[in-house]
Structure 1
């Protein structure tokens, strides 16, 4: 649904100078002819997804590759070589998709490559298991040194499809890491940029395709939810990624909710309009994903960092990748085996490149320091969720508040008092709880607590829905927890449990109550019992 009321006309006029200044800086698009699609020939669903995606994106039918593959999602190294890697090399040779030469060390390297993106469809295995090593004196297989393991992601291994004779033990450095340029860069020819469309069901995979195409027309608008882990010095880098995202969102005008404790978002947290989610560190999906009513915003990019987040992509309840996709997200990344923190996607880089208009596959590969390792990227590789943020005046009705907020930030961010007055006036005129809440979140980031509280209270009075009203209470509880005022936080929890007891999201308050005021442990049984 598009906006037809006068606000749309006004917003379009205000945006016009921004559209003109932003369009020239956008990265070049990946051409459809540069993509090859690999599918499982014995699976009708895998083939249908390949055909549907090719048709949707204008990819030549000759770029589809059918492989006879095991049904298992996890395969041996020998099966990977004989059933996936070697058949693909033969196909590239036969179709003259590349030209490879042998360097001075005897390694074959592509010097020309027509195909730059390799898209794997549901049905293609995604895990290569560890090879057994010679046993020690006890006869048990020995473990490889840390960082020299040979288990890997199929997708990550295929990045170096064109190279021969490279070591499979441990990761290889990614020359595209931290780049800020498209994949047409000539220095990147030896690499294939891998991605997959996968998930708990065929329907989920088809939705990913459809949603990505739809959201590109208007851009991805909504709220970003960040979850810091605060697990100590050895994990500080992950929390710094979250803080960097928060800083960038503040500059870009993306409302951002930050969970600043060691806990994850509590059970059934009312995560409305979740267009972006970056969190860590729990083994299995929790928080809002346990709420039967919860769905990510259409086109959402949602990622939870865990060492084994993508070990069961096909399961809608286990780990993270499957549940995230099952709850409506269009794009995510994950790990199929232990990557160690320094071998995972850097969320801040991934987020930055998406905001700049790069595609999912480019942003994901720019943010991973190593390949031939454990990562997978899931979603439409060509998906550019922020392509239309400054380009298209066409907007969905549900996005108008977010557009108004971003426009206000771009115009008045250097004048905080003017910004508050202008957007407060707009919130009142539009009767917008979203605008009030967005202002509260911004002032909270600036540590202007009184102003933040006032805007959250205004949002609570304005929002029509109970879950959104509850979230304002949760913001206030978070403020009191941050100030060390446990008693004030508990009073709000108790009041909220009375007010919101009839909605599933009230479990978030119960979870907080158990954190702030844990129940007494059960009495120990006597020996006589």
Structure 2
């Protein structure tokens, strides 16, 4: 084909526009050079993590900042101002992290640093000090200056704000790269855990996982005490299904039961509402998939972060999650991380730092984000840059069918069923069964559960499928149908380590009679 001069010029123009668009799109990406790595110079672990994070992510050596501060979890407001905020501001001035513009609407020019990642052994909580309530009186929750260190550092460059209660987050619920937003705040994340092994895993694993992307099951545990929280989780449930991720939904009023055989391919968990980790998250045989994002909504989920068995944030990280969130003091529900926004932005390909702070309505308050700020777990899925892998093939197949068929469920399910029969794949059969259950076709769901049972690869999967068969029965015939099959399923699970999950479900439906009065 011959090209005339006009067509050649138009071709050059198109190429120029594409190049300009690509440059603009990349110009606002959060990069390693935009991150300052903050560590406790008194802690060998903290120093080691900082060096390793800089190596793994390619952060310039000049972006490492050592603080001389206590490693206590909770500090005073004065200690925060003198030992954390003041040294960071001094470093920012010396290294010209930004240049003040003198313009209120855009106070920073030539900005270099946009995110802070805090290493282990840095304080997490600023206690309430002024005014101290009189004896017998509780602190007014809305007139307290206690806060998470991380949430205060989000306002590192801002002066003169009220320390009591919170400050609105201008980045909340946005859909734009933070680097191009022009906002004067910082994205703050933390890498920490109960053990050195966990801390070091959080430094290295996310960068490795994102090379192929995060694949696996999503688990949503709704049924908490307030409609608002359930609405967030319902939105997560809808979003992951739209994104082509197979999902298990627990909609009992209680959390997942003791010894529930949660898949070890769980990559995303969102649930609520208990004070301490329970159910499958106390099972020593359970771990999340590497790179997993796991969040449990509770007022004090990170308050006792360094105490084993207390709260949720550290417990989820110890179970293999690489990303979680938490609160160090009472935040009130409306001032917690919005799990629906967090999940949506991650699935849109944003970094953990951006997604988490888009999901946080307030600053100078109680929220903490644990995870690599540069981690983009779903970027490959979003960018259609998927590299087929043997271990992920069923999850990738589920996603690919979603991309190909969209809302054409009958066509999509036929293709998936064909793939499940060829494999044969217990995973695909199970995902199909659950999807039919959500689509109010429990009879078909029950048939597919039994197809999945034929190829169940291990005792954990078999137990979960048996429990899911009861969910299909219950969806068809209510609690009566559940109880009719209860004994036969109990017999099949009689020697299973996961039998307590079945017994807990049974007790919820048919509570045992109270003990006789003495």
Equivalent of residue 477 in structure 1, options 450, 470, 482: 470
Return closer, same or farther for 1:87/1:484 CA change in 2, 3 Å cut-off.
farther
1:166 aligns with 2:158: no
Equivalent of residue 240 in structure 1, options 217, 225, 231: 231
Which range moves more in the overlay, 240-249 or 159-168? 240-249
Distance 2:129 2:488 in 1: 57
Distance 1:24 1:423 in 2: 39
1:300 aligns with 2:298: no
Distance 2:248 2:178 in 1: 33
Return closer, same or farther for 1:264/1:427 CA change in 2, 3 Å cut-off.
same
Return closer, same or farther for 1:237/1:24 CA change in 2, 3 Å cut-off.
farther
Q: Which runs of 5+ in 2 are unaligned?
A: 1-21
Equivalent of residue 340 in structure 2, options 345, 348, 352: 348
Equivalent of residue 407 in structure 1, options 400, 416, 435: 400
Distance 2:159 2:136 in 1: 28
Shift of 1:319: 0.8
Shift of 1:401: 0.4
1:464 aligns with 2:457: yes
Determine helix, strand or coil for the equivalent of 1:184.
helix
Return closer, same or farther for 1:424/1:484 CA change in 2, 3 Å cut-off.
closer
Which range moves more in the overlay, 470-479 or 83-92? 470-479
Equivalent of residue 114 in structure 2, options 97, 113, 116: 116
Return closer, same or farther for 1:315/1:468 CA change in 2, 3 Å cut-off.
same
Equivalent of residue 262 in structure 2, options 271, 284, 309: 271
Q: Which runs of 5+ in 1 are unaligned?
A: 1-22
Determine helix, strand or coil for the equivalent of 1:398.
coil
Q: Is the 8 A contact 2:106 2:182 kept in 1?
A: no
Q: In structure 1, what is the equivalent of residue 75 of structure 2?
A: 75
Q: Is the 8 A contact 2:443 2:476 kept in 1?
A: no
Equivalent of residue 448 in structure 2, options 452, 455, 461: 455
Shift of 1:111: 4.4
Return closer, same or farther for 1:230/1:120 CA change in 2, 3 Å cut-off.
closer
Q: Is the 8 A contact 1:277 1:301 kept in 2?
A: yes
Q: In structure 2, what is the equivalent of residue 501 of structure 1?
A: 494
Return closer, same or farther for 1:112/1:170 CA change in 2, 3 Å cut-off.
farther
Distance 1:178 1:25 in 2: 22
Shift of 1:83: 0.9
For each residue in 1:435-465, what CA deviation from the matched residue of structure 2 results, as whole angstroms up to 9, or x when unmatched?
0111112122221222222212211222121
Q: In structure 2, what is the equivalent of residue 439 of structure 1?
A: 432
Q: Is the 8 A contact 1:108 1:164 kept in 2?
A: no
Determine helix, strand or coil for the equivalent of 2:494.
coil
Distance 2:142 2:438 in 1: 38
Shift of 1:316: 3.8
For each residue in 1:311-333, what CA deviation from the matched residue of structure 2 results, as whole angstroms up to 9, or x when unmatched?
12223422101110000001011
Q: In structure 2, what is the equivalent of residue 88 of structure 1?
A: 88
Q: In structure 2, what is the equivalent of residue 12 of structure 1?
A: none
1:42 aligns with 2:42: yes
Shift of 1:210: 2.3
1:207 aligns with 2:195: no
Q: Is the 8 A contact 2:39 2:66 kept in 1?
A: yes
Higher RCO, Cα 8 Å, sep 6+: 1
* Aligned residues between the structures: 494
Shift of 1:491: 3.7
Q: Is the 8 A contact 1:110 1:163 kept in 2?
A: no
Q: Is the 8 A contact 1:97 1:114 kept in 2?
A: yes
Root-mean-square deviation (CA), in Å? Answer: 2.2
Distance 1:113 1:140 in 2: 48
Q: In structure 1, what is the equivalent of residue 51 of structure 2?
A: 51
Determine helix, strand or coil for the equivalent of 1:267.
coil
Return closer, same or farther for 1:398/1:316 CA change in 2, 3 Å cut-off.
farther
